[in-house]
Amino acid sequence: MSDMKETIRNFIQSDIANDNESISYDTPLMSSGIIDSITALQLVSFLEDTFKIEFQPHEVDQENLETIDTIAKFVASKQSGV
Amino acid sequence: MKQVKNWVIITALLILIVAAEWIYHFSGSIQLLSLLGLSVIICLLLQTKAQKYATLVLIFGFLAASFWFLPLKQFLSFTAIFTITGVFITRSKIPRIFKYGLLLLYLIIIVFLKFQIPLYIYKGIQLSMILLMFRALIYLYDIQFLKSHNPKSFDFFYLGIYTNIPAPFFPVIDYKSLNPSNIFNPDTTDILRGLNIVLRGIVHLIAYRLIYQYFVPGLDDVDDAVSAFHYLVTSYLMIMRMSGLLWLSVGFFYLMGIRLPDIFQNYFLASGFDDFWRRINIYWKNFMLKIFYYPIFFKLKKFGFQKAVVFTTFSLFIISWLLHIYQALIISGHYNFRLTDALFWVVFGLLVCSVQIVPSISKNFLSKNTYLASVRKTLGIVTTFLTITILWSIWMSPNFWDWKILMQLLFSFSLQEFSIFLIGTLILVFVGAYFYLFLGKYDKPRPTTGKVSAFEVTFNSLIVALSILFFMVGERGYFDPKLNTSFSKFVQNPLNANDKDKQFDGYYDQIIDDNANKVLSNANTGKALEQWKKLSDTEILKSTDNILLKELKPNISESFKKFTFSTNEYGFRDKFYSENKPDSTLRFILLGGSIEMGSGVSDDETFESVAESSLNKLDSIPQIEIINMACSSRNIIHDLYVLDNQTDSFHPDGIIMFHHEREWHAICNYFGKLYREGKASQLYPEIKNILDKYPHLENASNWGRKTLLKDQKMEIMAAMYSRIKSIAKARNLKILWIYLPEITNVSASLDTSLLKLVDGNEFYVCDYSQIFDGYTRDSLLTSSFDTHPNREGHAIIAARLKNDLINFVKKYKNNE
């Protein structure tokens, strides 16, 4: 799980956030505006490719993508088929 | 201790809000005070054991608000229709398609069956749809994917949010993000935050009113690049009315313990088109993303990420346009397709898509806390602001031709004007960059929980308190009269020049008919307006195919605007006069429109009638007769026709003609109507020859026509007066020409070129520019929504006319 979180964090830090924004596992991403509609889709594509999961449109929301913790939890639940 | 402090602040904020709304009525038909009163009761109930039944408390709010804001019949029909629909949507197990079908059925009824079903049932369906139009779509989408269902009473509350009842323009609240388990328990911080948001809304509305009353130039003054730029910027700034009203709605949610995120984020500081889309009406953006954007993107992503994003983004703006049509259909019952609407959404969509395609400057560069990055950011802000200003003007233009004329004016700048604009913009960018360097860090979404910003509460309170203080100082007469008159505009918020023009065009008659909410939410005003019919909607006006003539029916006695309205056997609003003039009597014929006819006063109160009676009490002059041949909606072209064809048989000695401030406006409006109806060929040839040089006269709005014809104004007026002069000369008639300003115009003056023109025609000219000075202007109006003079207004005109007629008679007697 921590590897997964780190992989996600690295992606967000390098491809989405800027250098000034230090991203931790509980940094709000959507409500703070770090992730917007387009970058949410970039993140979803990254998660689908990296973790071999498939998102549904309604899953692209704050409930699943608000922090790295919630993203990792969501990806894990997808992988386990829950 | 903290709780006590919070309650003290809450009480102070409540007092400020109530006082400001009481004085200024910022919220208009939303009726903030009623909503606030109800919300405070609900908020207090939620502090007690009733919290256990929170959703029931809020359903009580729904019933109370419906009962308070609606007339009884509409209340019954609305609550019945909404409850049945709500139960059908939330409880029935039938497929979703049938639920959408019911909404579609309501839409069809609203658009096509307005006059076929009883009005209270129609209004009940319409208001139900106003509440359901977007939330039902969100609800039906979200419940497909919910892991656990919310209580049905919560669903009913969500669909029928009571604060939406008087406010058809309402935030698109998301369903999924409202979790009933952690809301409906507002603590003092929530209440404080909610009231602060309401105050924020009021600050926006104060800014809006300042701009509306003092800064937006009248369209008649927009005739070059600088004034066009001024008009565009101030028109865009009036968007603050929308944000103010939506902030008020969001603030009320906190009083229910519902912690909603910001609906706007400093939209004037958007540094790109996509950034603007992110900051303006955030709930709408989120609704569009959830219901349309992500589903479309997932269908298209097989074509590649970039292509799918661009196509989806563009389609989002087309859907936004269609949804605005849907919204307009529900609120007004009809929609006129406008090229400008389509153009606005397409151009906006293309601009946002262009941001996805064109590589942007590195995010890291922009995020650096350096002056250079700040300059780049500020440049983006200024460029976006200016572009959105132009884009906004497309949406706001009544038609494409007007917008084209506005753009032609904007780009008619001289080199000097452009240089000043460029230098001003650069100064703004470089100075603004300094501010942004230090303050930019605060430009981010506010938290929905935790400490409320003391700075913002203080700032908002100060602005609102200042507005109250100004009122108190003004009330006690500490302002000098000029400032007091100017400030009274802010307090009373009369229509500004542009809206007055729309009123004269019949725009408000249409709005009054169409805006269901206005009638729903304010039954008394609605009732009063229903009695306030236009002359053309009564039996008083005679129908005629002659475009040069408007006539009253003969021998009628009706009630018009609550006053007796009678005509003689010739169809004049006057007593009977035989065609043969009695000996030793001077006879005048009064020509003119609604003011001269006496719209809004009874038969014996028209200035013509009052002046005639008082003149005949004098011994110093011969017996005087004034025959009132005026009729509503006439302009100088009609007057000319009447003079030429109807006056001769009465053997007048003189003609009294009035020229009004809006004469040119009325004439251009009339030209537009003639061209739209294909009747322009009936115009006087010298006028038609001038007009035929201008294509699209029928398509442009009246402002567009006035702008196109502004260089021909004097030529057209001269042609009319030249004909009048010839007729007068041939029949040995003397013309008394009077300039009468509008009552509400405190700085009226007679146009010097017009004065020169009528002087040149040897008319006896009287300038009434200052006739209403020294009077409380509003006390001279027929009503708050009708600017015709009332009895007192007519008496003032009569007194002046009496004196002028004495001098007029003496002058011509001496000459004889």
Which residue type, as a one-letter code, is found at position B125?
I
pLDDT score recorded for residue A52: 93
Alpha-carbon gap, residue B22 to B26, rounded angstroms? 9
CB-nearest to B305 from A18, A45, A60 is: A45
What is the model's pLDDT at position B531? Answer: 60
Residue appearing with tokens 């269908």: B299
Number of other residues whose CB lies within 10 A of the CB of residue B801: 29
Q: Looking at residue B815, what is its pLDDT? A: 65
Is A37–B363 a contact, with Cβ atoms under 8 angstroms apart? no
| A34 reaches B (C-beta below 8 A) | no
pLDDT at position B619 is: 78
**Residue-wise pLDDT tens digits, B707-738:** 889 889 999 999 999 999 999 999 999 999 99
Task: Give the SS3 label for residue B736.
Answer: strand
Query: Are the C-beta atoms of residues B116 and B159 closer than 8 Å to each other?
Result: no
Predicted local confidence at residue B697, as pLDDT:
86
Q: Is the pLDDT of residue B95 over 90?
A: yes
Single-letter residue type at B228? A
Contact at 8 Å (CB) between B643 and B591? yes
What is d(CA B522, CA B168) in angstroms, rounded to the nearest whole number? 13
Contacts of A33 in chain B (CB under 8 A): 265, 278, 444-445
Residue B747 near residue B777 (C-beta atoms within 8 A): no
Residue B500 has pLDDT above 70, yes or no: no
Torsions phi, psi for B590 (to 5 deg): -95, 125
Q: Confirm or reject contact between A38 and chain B (CB < 8 A).
A: yes
Q: Do B289 and A37 touch (CB under 8 A)?
A: yes
The percent of residues in chain B predicted with pLDDT above 70, rounded, is 93
Segment B443-457, tens digit of pLDDT: 887 777 778 899 999
Q: What is the pLDDT of residues B655-676, one digit of tens each?
A: 999 999 888 988 998 999 888 8
Rounded to the nearest angstrom, the minimum Cα separation between B239 and chain A is 23
Q: Which of B144, B265, B309 sits opposite A41 (nearest CB)?
A: B309
Angle value at C-alpha B468, between B462 and B473, nearest 5 degrees: 120
| B448: Cβ contacts below 8 Å, ≥ 6 apart | B193, B259, B260, B261
A37 → closest Cβ in B176, B293, B369: B293
| Closest among B110, B94, B108, B96 to B139, alpha carbons compared | B96
Reply yes or no on whether the pLDDT at B811 is more than 60: yes
A77 touches chain B (CB under 8 A): no
On the question of pLDDT at B2 being above 90, the answer is: no
Task: Name the residue facing B290 among A31, A41, A61 (closest C-beta).
Answer: A61
Does any CB of chain A come closer than 8 Å to the CB of residue B317? no
Across B775-786, b (16+ Cβ under 10 Å) vs e yields: eebeebbbeeeb
Between chain A and chain B, how many beta carbons pairs sit less than 8 Å apart? 53
| B109-118, B503-512, B569-578, B734-743: least confident range | B503-512
Q: Is the pLDDT of residue B578 over 80?
A: yes
Helices B713-730 and B636-645: crossing angle, nearest 10°?
Answer: 20
- pLDDT per residue over B394-424, tens digit each? 988 888 888 999 999 999 999 999 999 999 9
Taking only the tens place, the pLDDT of each residue in A46-81 is 999 999 999 999 999 988 999 999 999 999 999 887
User: How far is Cα B301 from Cα B297, in angstroms, rounded to an integer?
Assistant: 6
Q: Are A41 and B297 in contact (CB < 8 Å)?
A: yes
Neighbours of B301 (CB within 10 A): 18
The 3-state DSSP class for residue B566 equals strand
pLDDT in tens, B517-543: 333 333 344 445 556 667 766 778 887
Mean pLDDT taken over chain A:
90
Token pair in block for residue B532: 């306030």
Q: Is the pTM above the cut of 0.90? A: no
User: Residue A62 and residue B177: Cβ atoms within 8 Å?
Assistant: yes
d(CA B792, CA B798): 10
Q: How confident is the model at residue B367 (pLDDT cuts 50, 70, 90)?
A: low
Go through the domains of chain A in sequence order and give each one's CATH number.
2-79 (1.10.1200.10)
Query: Which two tokens mark B133?
Result: 């139009």
The burial of B632, by beta-carbon neighbours within 10 Å (0-12 exposed, 13-18 middle, 19 or more buried), is given as: buried
Q: What pLDDT score does B502 carry?
A: 63
- Give the nearest chain A residue to B369 (CA atoms): A20
Give the pLDDT mean for B122-151.
Answer: 92
Q: Bigger pLDDT: B18 or B355?
A: B18
Neighbours of B405 (CB within 10 A): 22
pLDDT at B507 over 60: no
Q: Per-residue pLDDT averaged across B591-609, rounded?
A: 94
Q: Which residue has the higher pLDDT, B363 or B768?
A: B768
In this structure, what is the dihedral angle of CA atoms B720, B722, B724, B727, given to the nearest 10 degrees?
-140
Q: Is A6 in the B-facing interface, judged by CB distances under 8 Å?
A: no
Smallest CA–CA distance from B285 into chain A, residue:
A37
- Residue B357 pLDDT exceeds 80: no
Contacts of B809 (CB under 8 A, 6+ apart): B586, B621, B622, B624
pLDDT of amino acid B206: 96
Chain A contact for B141 (CB, 8 A cutoff): yes
Nearest of B504, B393, B375 to residue B436 by alpha carbon: B375
- Beta-carbon neighbour count of residue B326 at 10 Å? 17
Q: Quick one: closest CA in B to A31, which residue?
A: B445
Of chain B residues 187-216, which have a CB less than 8 A from chain A? Answer: none
The predicted-structure confidence for B183-240, as pLDDT tens digits, reads as follows 788 889 999 999 999 999 999 999 999 999 999 998 878 889 999 999 999 999 999 9
Are the beta carbons of A48 and A41 closer than 8 angstroms?
A: no
What is the distance between the alpha carbons of residues B393 and B640, in angstroms, rounded to a whole number?
Answer: 38
Residues B321 and B208 sit within 8 Å (Cβ to Cβ): no
Place of tokens 């903030």: B32
Report yes or no: B689 at the A interface, CB cutoff 8 Å: no
A15 near B CB under 8 A: no
Q: Is B278 on the interface with A (CB under 8 A)?
A: yes
Residue B509 has pLDDT above 50, yes or no: no
Q: pLDDT category, B360, cuts 50, 70, 90?
A: low
Say yes or no to pLDDT of B485 above 80: no
B176/A61 Cβ within 8 A: yes
Give the pair of three-digit tokens for residue B575: 């007593």
* Closest alpha carbon within chain B to A42: B305
Q: Which of A20, A33, A60 sits opposite B445 (nearest CB)?
A: A33
Phi and psi based region of residue B562 (left: phi greater than 0; alpha: psi -120 to 50; beta: remaining): left
Of all residues in chain B, the one with the smallest CA distance to A29 is B445
User: Mean pLDDT throughout B318-323?
Assistant: 94
**pLDDT averaged over chain B?**
88
In tens, the pLDDT along B773-803 reads 888 888 899 887 788 999 999 999 999 999 9
A36 touches chain B (CB under 8 A): yes
Measured N-to-C along each axis, helices B400-410 and B225-237 cross at an angle, to the nearest 10 degrees, of: 120
CA closest to A54 among chain B residues = B298
Helices B152-159 and B72-91 meet at what angle, rounded to 10? 130
Measured between CA atoms, the residue of chain B closest to residue A62 is B177
Spatial strand order in the sheet of B764-767: B623-628, B585-590, B654-660, B734-740, B764-767
Residue B290 has pLDDT above 90, yes or no: yes
- Cα gap B236→B239, rounded to integer Å: 6
